[in-house]
Amino acid sequence: MHAVMAKRLLPHQESVDDPGPDDLDSPAIEAAALDIPQQTADKAIQKGFWERPATKYQPPPDDGSTVLRFDILQAHIMPRDGEDLKIKRYVVYELTVRQDCATEDTQPAKIERRYTDFRELFLGLKRQYPVEMANKFFPSKVLMGNFKSDLIGERSIAFEEFISHVAHIEKLRDTDVFLHFLQNEELNRACQLLDQRRYELAIPILENCFRLLNKIYMNRSKPVLLILCRLVAAACTLSPVPHHSAERWALLALSRFDTLSDTDLLPLYIPLLHTCAHLWWQRGQDQKPITDRLTSMSKQGINTNSTISLMQAIHKIDPRTETI
Please determine, for residue 132, whether its predicted confidence score (pLDDT) is greater than 80: yes
- pLDDT for 245 equals 95
Residue 198 CA to residue 207 CA, distance in Å, equals 15
- pLDDT for 102 equals 80
- pLDDT for 239 equals 78
What are the DSSP calls for 26-53, one per residue?
Answer: -HHHHHHHH---GGGS-HHHHTTEEEPP
Please determine, for residue 28, whether its predicted confidence score (pLDDT) is greater than 80: no
Give the CA distances from residue 50 to residues 53, 141, 142, 243, 265, in Å, rounded to whole numbers and listed in that order: 10, 19, 18, 36, 42
Taking residues 29-35, report their average pLDDT.
Answer: 33
Sequence-distant (6+) residues with CB within 8 A of 206 are 187, 190, 227, 230, 231, 234
Q: How confident is the model at residue 307 (pLDDT cuts 50, 70, 90)?
A: confident
Please determine, for residue 192, whether its predicted confidence score (pLDDT) is greater than 80: yes
Please determine, for residue 97, whether its predicted confidence score (pLDDT) is greater than 50: yes
- pLDDT for 61 equals 72
Q: Which residues of 301-324 are buried (b: 16+ CB within 10 A; e: fewer)?
A: eeebebeebbbebbbeeeebebee
Residue 108 CA to residue 103 CA, distance in Å, equals 13
Over residues 61-74, the pLDDT tens digits come to 777 778 999 999 99
- pLDDT for 66 equals 87
Please determine, for residue 31, whether its predicted confidence score (pLDDT) is greater than 60: no
Taking residues 250-259, report their average pLDDT.
Answer: 93
- pLDDT for 83 equals 62
The distance in angstroms from the start CA to the end CA of the chain is: 41
* Averaged confidence pLDDT in the chain: 84
Residue 160 CA to residue 167 CA, distance in Å, equals 11
- pLDDT for 162 equals 98
CB 268 within 8 A of CB 306: no
- pLDDT for 282 equals 94
What are the DSSP calls for 55-75, one per residue?
Answer: ----PPPSSS-EEEEEEEEEE
- pLDDT for 32 equals 34
Give the CA distances from residue 260 to residues 7, 15, 213, 309, 318, in Å, rounded to whole numbers and listed in that order: 21, 11, 18, 20, 18
- Spatial CA neighbour of 160 closest among 186, 136, 187: 136
Which domains, and CATH codes, for the chain?
A: 2-169 (3.30.1520.10), 180-317 (1.25.40.10)
Percent of the chain scored above 70 by pLDDT?
Answer: 82
Please determine, for residue 33, whether its predicted confidence score (pLDDT) is greater than 60: no
- In this structure, how many other beta carbons lie within 10 angstroms of the beta carbon of residue 240? 4
> For residues 39 and 126, which has the higher predicted lDDT (pLDDT)?
126
- pLDDT for 322 equals 58
Taking residues 99-124, report their average pLDDT.
Answer: 94
- Spatial CA neighbour of 126 closest among 81, 174, 75, 177: 177
Give the CA distances from residue 241 to residues 38, 207, 244, 251, 308, in Å, rounded to whole numbers and listed in that order: 55, 19, 9, 18, 21
- pLDDT for 10 equals 39
Over residues 193-220, the pLDDT tens digits come to 999 999 999 999 999 999 999 999 999 9
Q: What is the DSSP letter of 86?
A: T
- Spatial CA neighbour of 269 closest among 240, 241, 298: 298
28: exposed, middle or buried (Cβ count in 10 Å: 0-12, 13-18, 19+)? exposed
Please determine, for residue 93, whether its predicted confidence score (pLDDT) is greater than 90: yes
